[in-house]
Amino acid sequence: MSDTCVISTTNLNLWYHEKHALEAVTMKIPKNRVTALIGPSGCGKSTLLRCFNRLNDLIDHVKITGEIMLDDENIHAPDTDVVHLRKRVGMVFQKPNPFPKSIYENIAYGPRVHGVTDKAGLDKVVEQSLRHAAIWDEVKDRLGDSALGLSGGQQQRLCIARTLAVNPEVILMDEPCSALDPIATAKIENLMDRLKTEYTVIIVTHSMQQAARVSDYTGFMYLGKLIECGRTKEIFEHPREELTENYITGRFG
């Protein structure tokens, strides 16, 4: 990979109790690119994604060995501020999960936690984030309405805007379109393409066609191992590993 790397893992292992869920994963995530993680259910792709902002810390009996570097910082170093880490590495989940508050408050919540308190400053962040997430035109006249009244696709873009509001470097997306219809999916995919000019995006998806459409790099995982990682067009045109070939041509999984 010739692109600059923003996250790198070295020999990363993770156990849930006795279950060895990630085995010696070593990979680099290039900056300002979309990287997709694909693989059959239970292969560890979501677990790997959740390692990048230490969400697995919230689960009992998880043991992690190996190293994850965000730029030059080891995210498992004792002095790492996890709240700050999750500001730098934001996350969007499978099911849209807006707060039961107004559209405005959903976006303003994060910046407020991180110290932005003046109204003008918050207004600016809200507008900018909603614009970046390509939903501003749809909600600008009803910012005071409940976010729960939005459609599923709009809620998901709102959640992306909420992530953008704290100005992250990396955005993690765990199956962000699986609860959405094809039109809402297309909007999120277009958005990903635009977002990568300013952010690094890592997406977990069960849809290989989606990975092929949206990503610059793809990692294929199987039973906790990263089998192959490389440029998307190479992975989908002529993968090096037979296992990858068999998975993407539908011979298993």
Partner 1 sequence: MAEKFHAELKNLKKDTVAMAGLGRSMLRTAVDALIRQDKEMAASVVAQKDEIHRMEVEIEEHCYQLIALNQPMAKDMRVIACTLKVITASMRIGRYGKVIANIVREISDKPHIANMMSIPHMADLVIDMVDDAVLAYDKDDISIIRDFSVRDDTIDALRHSIFREGITYMMEDPKNISRCTHYIMAARYLERCADHSCKIAENVHYMHTGERIEIH
Q: Is 197 in the site for partner 1 (CB under 8 A)?
A: no
Nearer to partner 1, 104 or 220 (CB): 220
d(Cα 231, Cα 229) in Å, to the nearest integer? 7
- Residue span 155-194 as binding mask against partner 1, x where in contact by CB under 8 A, dash where not: ----------------------------------------
Looking at 108-116, 122-130, 208-216, 223-231, which segment touches partner 1 (CB under 8 A)? 208-216
Under rule CB under 8 A, residue 237 binds partner 1: yes
| Ranges assigned E (strand) in the chain | 5-16, 19-30, 34-38, 62-70, 73-74, 89-92, 170-174, 200-204, 217-222, 225-231
Q: Does 233 bind partner 1 (CB under 8 A)?
A: no
Q: Does 238 bind partner 1 (CB under 8 A)?
A: yes
Among residues 27, 171, 212, 227, which is the contact residue for partner 1, using CB under 8 A?
212
Query: How many whole angstroms separate alpha carbon 207 and alpha carbon 176?
Result: 11
Residue 3 in the binding site for partner 1 (CB under 8 A): no
Q: Does 241 bind partner 1 (CB under 8 A)?
A: no
Token representation of residue 126: 């809200």
Per CB under 8 A, which region of 96-104, 108-116, 178-186, 204-212 contacts partner 1?
Answer: 204-212
- What's the burial of 9, exposed, middle or buried (CB within 10 Å: 0-12/13-18/19+)? buried
What single string gives the DSSP state of each residue in 199-213? Answer: SEEEEE-S-HHHHHH
The answer to whether 62 and 56 are in contact (CB under 8 A) is yes
Binding residues for partner 1, rule: CB under 8 A, are: 208-209, 212, 236-239, 244-245, 248-251
